[in-house]
Amino acid sequence: MGKVIAIDGPAASGKSTVAKRVAAALDDALYVDSGAVYRGITWAALERGVDVHDADAVEAMLGELDVRFFSRDGAAGFSIDGIEPGTAIRTQAVNNAVSPVAVIPAVRVQVVKWLREMASLGTLVMEGRDIGTAVFPNTPHKFYLDASAEERIRRRHREMAADSAIDEDEVGTSLRRRDKIDSSRKMDPLQVAPGATRIDSTAMGIDDVVNTILSAVSEDV
């Protein structure tokens, strides 16, 4: 089993960018976006007309899906019933439906199982909400990336403004709502894992955050 570097944190904390960069800097490490798996299931439910608020219906659908994982270009990818959803998991419809899907216990149990199985593929840099607390609680390499809500709203707005004229208040409302759902759900809520290094990136550049993680990981070995 390879080494696992767990990077958790709230929306727009910079997790994805940082995790990709950390994976690229390490030999043979695979970047894993765990949120993409919850999004994939949500996409499949929407495609099939399954009500995402009906936990039994989502669970029944999950049992019938043929989900396969693979590694490509340094990252983990997946297909569902032979289709790679790609950018279809990033639509507004999926954004709105993914939180209710991610609170369904049967969904979480299955996704955690899949994520653990990926450790057989090699060293993983996995980002998410519960990687250090629930998926790989025993890894010594745990990081919790944070930034002030104002800074995260600014970052998300900047990201989205590239393709739509959405205003900052709207981004703020949606981000704060997601924060609340993610940190207050009963199963595996977003929280700082015991033993995790908390990094507040509000006033830090990406290089600083990446280097902080890389030096902590190399000291741990």
Residues making contact with ligand DC (CB under 6 A): 11, 34-35, 38-39, 98-99, 102, 128-131, 182
Taking the complex as a whole, the smallest distance from the CB of residue 100 to ligand DC amounts, in Å, to 9
Structure tokens at 211: 């280097």
Nearer to ligand DC, 72 or 186 (CB): 186
State the minimum distance, in angstroms, from the CB of residue 205 to ligand DC.
22
Nearer to ligand DC, 91 or 99 (CB): 99
Beta strands in the chain (DSSP E): 4-8, 29-33, 67-72, 75-80, 123-128, 141-146, 197-200
CB closer to ligand DC, 39 vs 141: 39
Least distance in angstroms from the C-beta of 178 to ligand DC: 6
Which of these, 34, 44, 196, 40, lies nearest to 115 by C-alpha position? 34
Structure tokens at 5: 């570097």
Q: Whose CA is closest to 129, among 2, 42, 10?
A: 10
Q: Which is closer to ligand DC, CB of 27 or CB of 163?
A: 163
Smallest distance from ligand DC to CB 79, Å:
18
Buried residues in 182-201 as b, exposed as e (16+ CB within 10 A): beebeebebebbeebeebeb
Q: Which is closer to ligand DC, CB of 173 or CB of 215?
A: 173
Distance CA 124, CA 1 (A): 10
> Least CB distance from residue 198 to ligand DC, whole Å?
17
Characterize the bridge pairing of strands 123-128 and 29-33: parallel
